[in-house]
């Protein structure tokens, strides 16, 4: 039970939802909804047909298309066409689910705008797709077989990273006029007031890791950044949306300048904003760039409470992710936060001996003093959750994306508890002021 601290079992949740949805699917649509559904299927065309076909085949043969019977691995084969006809009811069911999702996302963005949110929903463009999923099956000619996207060793992860995602083939993208990239963006901008592009440096180059090799043996492969950015900016302009690039980690010279010249915002995380070319101390607020989303943390980093307490080092140590003695890591983390606390005190953002909750509010007061055009709030910071939602460098070692959000005592919170949380309300009040 989630209220007792259990992890989210997404397969079990999907099974329950699927059974309910299957019952609803058997109810005939009224004339108006039937016309809307038929129009949606016609509009989405082959892409929707491919997705729904993969879903139906995955139910019959497993979720990794590489292990399907011969013939079904090719979305254009005669055997796949026969299977699509035989599974027509399941193909329709999964097409219907996509239509429901489309109507709900459209309604959510409309409700956000009507409630006074000038941007509304910010959607996310992941750096890649699942190698066994529908995208890799239906568009396999555009993905590099036997390769995975990752990151070279850096200050955050000395071992490098392998994300297990197949990279785009730049030659095939160019030959297609970037058609699959355009279609992907149009699908996202359909509901978005803004789009966050994960690892935006991937529009310039990606770290390719050969299958069976560690990330340290990868290499950079370049893309036509001029073309990729042109497509991105064009689709954003057509949608009247803004773009936020996650430009964190190893960023080659010229990338941030190229993004800024095209109106693409960057991402600035407080703990990384130091005078790296000078005294290496925390940047004063006026030293920050304006064209960015400023945050205290991200989904790949510790919540602020864990950063301030040093618990993030203990977690990484327990999972064997440290490359230096734990004592050195803890000392460095403590020195880092001490410098930030000193700056917050000097700026009058908090009082000496402030509580953890007051310190987190001070962090966000600091962000408000920067010229950043957008401020991001990580929901766990609002309720005091100390656990990272995702811990890079782990797979089965840590329950990534399975943790229900919890309060400072580790108690899972319902939506009602979140909206009524005095701690969260106090933080948001600080931001409004």
Nearest to 268 by CA among 370, 346, 154: 370
SS3 222: strand
The answer on 405 and 322 residing in a single domain is yes
The answer to whether residues 238 and 303 belong to one domain is yes
Instruction: Kindly compute the dihedral angle of the four CA atoms of residues 338, 340, 341, 344, in this order, to the nearest 10 degrees.
Output: 160
Give the number of domains in the chain.
2
Res 352 pLDDT > 70: yes
Residue 407, both tokens: 């309060």
**244: which 2 tokens?**
């936020």
Q: Which residue range forms the structural domain that includes residue 212?
A: 117-432
Domain boundary among 91, 116, 141: 116
Token pair 């990729």: residue: 228
- Band of pLDDT at residue 155, cut at 50, 70 and 90: low
Give the dihedral sign, CA 102/104/106/112: negative
The reply to whether 66 and 135 lie within a common domain is no
Of 116, 132, 166, the residue at which a domain comes to its end is 116
Q: Two tokens at 420?
A: 């009524």
- Three-state DSSP state, 300: coil
**Continuous segment of H or E residues that includes residue 206:** strand 205-210
pLDDT (0 to 100) of residue 154: 75
- Residue 151 CA to residue 155 CA, distance in Å, equals 11
Rounded to the nearest integer, the mean pLDDT of the chain is 94
Rg (CA), the chain: 23
Query: H or E element: which one contains 164?
Result: strand 161-165
**pLDDT value of position 338:** 97
Percent of the chain with pLDDT over 90: 90
- Shared domain for 191 and 105, answered yes or no, is no
Rounded Cα distance between 424 and 383, Å, is 6
Share of the chain above pLDDT 70, in %: 98
pLDDT confidence band for 159 (50 / 70 / 90): confident
Same domain, yes or no: 112 and 140? no
* Backbone φ and ψ of 411, nearest 5°: -90, 125
Averaged over 24-48, what is the pLDDT?
Answer: 97
- Write the secondary structure of 92-103 as one string of H (helix), E (strand) and C (coil): HHHHHHHHHHHH
- Segment 373-407, tens digit of pLDDT: 999 999 999 999 999 999 987 878 999 999 999 99
What's the rounded Cα separation, in Å, for the pair 26 and 90? 12
Partners of residue 244 on adjacent β-strands: 196, 265
Q: Which of 116, 145, 174 is the last residue of a domain?
A: 116
**CATH code of the domain covering residue 358:** 3.20.20.80
Q: Residue 387: how many CA atoms within 13 Å on its side-chain side?
A: 18
**Do residues 408 and 385 lie in contact, with contact meaning Cβ atoms separated by under 8 Å?**
yes
Q: How confident is the model at residue 105 (pLDDT cuts 50, 70, 90)?
A: very high
Same domain? 348 vs 399: yes
The secondary structure of residue 122, as a DSSP letter, is: E
Q: Which two tokens stand for residue 184?
A: 């992907």
Residues 179, 32, single domain; the answer is no
- Distance (Å, whole) CA 352 – CA 195: 39
Q: Does position 258 have pLDDT exceeding 70, yes or no?
A: yes
Taking only the tens place, the pLDDT of each residue in 42-95 is: 999 999 999 999 999 999 999 999 999 999 999 999 999 999 999 999 999 999
- Backbone dihedral angles phi then psi of residue 193, each to the nearest 5 degrees: -90, -20
Same domain? For 157 and 282 the reply is yes
- For 206-233, write each residue's pLDDT tens digit: 999 999 999 999 999 999 999 999 999 9
Cβ–Cβ < 8 Å for 163, 224: no
pLDDT at 158 over 80: no
In three-state secondary structure terms, 244 is strand
User: Per-residue pLDDT averaged across 294-308, rounded?
Assistant: 95
């Amino acid at each position: 039970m989630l209220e007792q601290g259990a992890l989210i079992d997404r397969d079990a949740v999907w099974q329950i939802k699927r059974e309910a949805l299957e019952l609803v699917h058997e109810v005939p649509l009224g004339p108006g909804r039937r016309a809307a559904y038929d129009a949606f299927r016609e509009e989405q065309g082959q892409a929707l047909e491919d997705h729904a076909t993969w879903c139906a085949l995955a139910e019959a043969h497993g979720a990794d298309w590489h292990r399907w019977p011969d013939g079904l691995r090719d979305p254009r084969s005669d055997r796949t066409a026969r299977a699509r006809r035989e599974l027509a009811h399941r193909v329709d069911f999964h097409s219907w689910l996509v239509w429901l999702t489309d109507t709900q996302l459209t309604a959510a963005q409309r409700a956000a705008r009507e409630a006074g949110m000038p941007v509304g929903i910010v959607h996310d463009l992941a750096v890649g797709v699942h190698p066994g999923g529908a995208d890799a099956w239906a568009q396999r000619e555009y993905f590099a077989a036997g390769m995975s996207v990752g990151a070279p060793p850096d200050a955050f992860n000395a071992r490098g990273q392998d994300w297990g995602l197949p990279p785009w083939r730049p030659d095939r993208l160019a030959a297609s006029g970037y058609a699959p990239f355009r279609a992907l963006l149009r699908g996202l901008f359909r509901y978005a007031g803004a789009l966050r592009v994960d690892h935006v440096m991937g529009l310039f180059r990606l770290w390719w890791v050969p299958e069976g090799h560690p990330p340290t043996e990868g290499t950079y492969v370049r893309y036509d950044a001029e073309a990729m950015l042109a497509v991105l900016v064009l689709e954003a302009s057509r949608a009247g949306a803004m773009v936020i690039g996650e430009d964190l980690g190893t960023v080659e010279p010229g990338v941030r300048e190229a993004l800024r010249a095209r109106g693409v915002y960057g991402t600035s995380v407080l703990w990384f904003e130091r005078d790296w070319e000078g005294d290496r101390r925390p940047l004063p607020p006026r030293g920050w760039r304006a064209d960015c989303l400023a945050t205290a943390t991200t989904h790949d980093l510790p919540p602020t409470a864990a950063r301030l307490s040093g618990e993030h080092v203990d977690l990484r140590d327990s999972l064997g992710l440290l490359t230096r003695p734990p004592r050195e890591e803890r000392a460095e983390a403590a020195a880092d936060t001490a410098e930030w606390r000193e700056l917050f005190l000097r700026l009058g953002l908090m009082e000496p001996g402030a509580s953890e909750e007051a310190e987190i509010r001070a962090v966000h007061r600091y962000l408000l003093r920067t010229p950043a055009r957008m401020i991001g709030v990580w929901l766990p910071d609002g309720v005091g959750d100390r656990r990272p939602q995702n811990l890079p460098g782990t797979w089965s070692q840590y329950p990534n994306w399975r943790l229900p959000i919890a309060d400072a005592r580790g108690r899972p919170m319902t939506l009602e508890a979140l909206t009524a949380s005095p701690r969260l309300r106090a933080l948001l009040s600080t931001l409004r002021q």
